[in-house]
């Protein structure tokens, strides 16, 4: 009797081959199942980042490919930090990065302010309506992103619906310049990413027993207090998920600034694209990407951590 004396003899069993073994163990197919996606992702997701890094440390060449090789035929390494130096010293780039982040953050806030009440409303709706309402949120998502942005082009341009309406009503005499401004980009971002905010919010709100909250209100807690003390804190995971799902991709948006933005609406996604395809300066484009990644690393890490904790809470 008594606790097993140390050292514990760990017998090598087929079942215990990997530490903390889970179920469904059978070595061969398990290895295949893990290895296949692993290798795929390693090659097609991870490796590319290494390559970007390598190229960001090179010089542009008029050649195919248009950059200096890192390792020349003698095995010497030639790297240069010129591209990064340029990025960090050139004011234009700093402003562009900042602007992209600000724009993305504002759009995120807007999505949150519009999306939260909508998600709440859907979560409170009756069973049958709820499915329909959700489907109506998802439907635009299934319709091409590009087409939805395009739709706004028609709305916002000088002969577009909004201007026509405003002129018709008499608020303005001549068409306002809405399209090709930062404001248009901002609307486009909010419009396109709204479903990404609503869905995680809805998922969290739906799990909460909102009846309880409304009961608390009945008992005298005012609506604002009930919201602030109960609903909001409990819905935080959904809020965080939604914000990250909007903010991170929005920072690197290309299509929306291109179609709806003006010459001043340079966002970093567009800058990267132009450096690469228009200027053929691959090393610089790579450096832009690396810096963007670094800026996003903090929210992305936060997102990973958050996902992991959410998964652990589920278990």
Binders of other proteins among residues 272 to 311 (CB under 8 A) are 272-273, 276, 282, 285-286, 289, 292-293, 296, 300, 303-304, 307-308, 311
In the chain, the largest separation of any two C-alpha atoms, in whole Å, equals 94
Q: Taking contact as CB under 8 A, which single stretch among the options 12-20, 76-84, 89-97, 226-234 is the one that binds other proteins? A: 12-20
Q: Is 52 in the site for other proteins (CB under 8 A)?
A: yes
Q: Give the residue with the Cβ less far from other proteins, 183 or 254.
A: 254
- The binder of other proteins chosen from 93, 97, 120, 186 (CB under 8 A): 120
- The binder of other proteins chosen from 97, 186, 191, 193 (CB under 8 A): 191
Site for other proteins in 68-97 (CB under 8 A): none
Q: Is 62 in the site for other proteins (CB under 8 A)?
A: no
Residues 147-186 as x/- pattern, contact with other proteins by CB under 8 A: xx-xxxxxx-x-xxx--x----------------------
Q: How far is CA 192 from CA 27, 111, 115, 141, 245, in A?
A: 45, 10, 12, 8, 12
Q: Taking contact as CB under 8 A, which single stretch among the options 77-85, 91-99, 128-136, 227-235 is the one that binds other proteins? A: 128-136
Q: The tokens 């009503």 sit on which residue? A: 169
Q: Which among 268, 236, 239, 213 has a CA at the least distance from the CA of 94?
A: 268
Q: Give the residue with the Cβ less far from other proteins, 88 or 145.
A: 145
DSSP string, 71-90: B-TT--B----HHHHHHHH-
Q: Which among 203, 196, 202 has a CA at the least distance from the CA of 242?
A: 196
**Backbone phi and psi for residue 243, each to the nearest 5 degrees, phi listed first:** -60, -45
Site for other proteins in 217-246 (CB under 8 A): 223, 244-245
Q: Taking contact as CB under 8 A, which single stretch among the options 36-44, 75-83, 86-94, 230-238 is the one that binds other proteins? A: 36-44
d(CA 8, CA 303): 39
Q: Is 137 in the site for other proteins (CB under 8 A)?
A: yes
Q: Which among 38, 39, 41, 69 has a CA at the least distance from the CA of 54?
A: 69
Which long-range contacts does 2-8 make (Cβ < 8 Å, 24+ apart)?
Answer: none
Q: Give the residue with the Cβ less far from other proteins, 86 or 276.
A: 276
Q: How far is CA 286 from CA 106, 219, 243, in A?
A: 27, 59, 27
Q: Give the residue with the Cβ less far from other proteins, 203 or 234.
A: 203
- The binder of other proteins chosen from 80, 131, 222, 279 (CB under 8 A): 131
Q: Give the residue with the Cβ less far from other proteins, 26 or 229.
A: 26
């Amino acid at each position: 009797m008594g606790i097993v004396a140390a050292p514990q003899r760990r017998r090598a069993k087929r079942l215990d081959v990997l530490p903390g073994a889970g179920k469904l163990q059978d070595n061969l197919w398990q290895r295949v199942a893990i290895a296949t996606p692993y290798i795929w992702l390693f090659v097609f997701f991870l490796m590319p980042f290494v390559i970007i890094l390598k190229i960001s440390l090179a010089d542009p060449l008029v050649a195919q490919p248009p950059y200096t090789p890192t390792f020349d035929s003698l095995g010497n390494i030639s790297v240069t930090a010129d591209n990064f130096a340029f990025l960090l010293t050139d004011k234009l780039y700093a402003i562009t990065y900042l602007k992209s982040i600000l724009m993305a953050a504002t759009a995120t806030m807007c999505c949150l302010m519009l999306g939260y009440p909508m998600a709440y409303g859907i979560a409170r709706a009756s069973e049958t309506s709820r499915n329909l309402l959700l489907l109506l949120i998802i439907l635009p998502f299934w319709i091409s992103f590009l087409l939805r942005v395009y739709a706004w082009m028609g709305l916002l341009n000088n002969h577009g619906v909004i201007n026509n309406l405003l002129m018709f009503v008499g608020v303005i005499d001549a068409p306002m310049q809405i399209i090709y401004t930062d404001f248009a980009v901002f609307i486009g971002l909010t419009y396109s990413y709204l479903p990404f905010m609503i869905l995680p919010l809805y998922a969290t709100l739906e799990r909460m027993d909102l009846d309880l909250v409304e009961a608390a209100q009945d008992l005298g807690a005012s609506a604002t207090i009930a919201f602030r003390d109960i609903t909001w804190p409990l819905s935080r995971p959904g809020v965080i998920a939604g914000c990250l799902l909007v903010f991170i991709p929005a920072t690197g948006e290309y299509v929306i600034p291109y179609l709806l933005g003006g010459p001043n609406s340079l966002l970093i996604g567009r800058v990267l694209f132009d450096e690469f395809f228009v200027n053929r300066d691959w090393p610089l484009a790579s450096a832009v990407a690396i810096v963007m990644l670094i800026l996003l690393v903090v929210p992305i890490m936060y997102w990973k951590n958050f996902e992991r904790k959410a998964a652990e809470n589920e278990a």
